[in-house]
Amino acid sequence: MKISIVLLALIFLNTSALLSEPIAGLVNGINPWLLVGVEIFLLLVLYLNYQLKELSQIAKIDFNGIEYMPTERKDKTQGKP
């Protein structure tokens, strides 16, 4: 969840850098294609993050439904010889 929030914040900041004029003055010397590439990379990382999170939930093994039937211990000192 923490990584998703950070990635969404970075995507929002990068998108706002591409679209807003006040920030355009700050990033005037930066090639816009570099920002587009970073945007695509961040979206790809966000997609992979969601996919890996779902994969870990699918691969999780639940042992709660398994019934354990212990066998009785046969000691030579107890019970009938």
Integer Cα distance of 19 and 70 in angstroms: 66
Q: What is the pLDDT of residues 4-63, one digit of tens each?
A: 888 888 888 777 767 676 666 777 788 878 888 988 998 899 898 888 887 777 777 777
Question: In 1-81, which ranges are continuous DSSP H helix?
Answer: 2-19, 21-26, 32-58
pLDDT value of residue 61 = 76
∠ CA 74-80-81, rounded to 5°: 90
Q: What is the pLDDT of residues 29-45, one digit of tens each?
A: 888 788 889 889 988 99
* pTM score: 0.47
Integer Cα distance of 25 and 17 in angstroms: 10
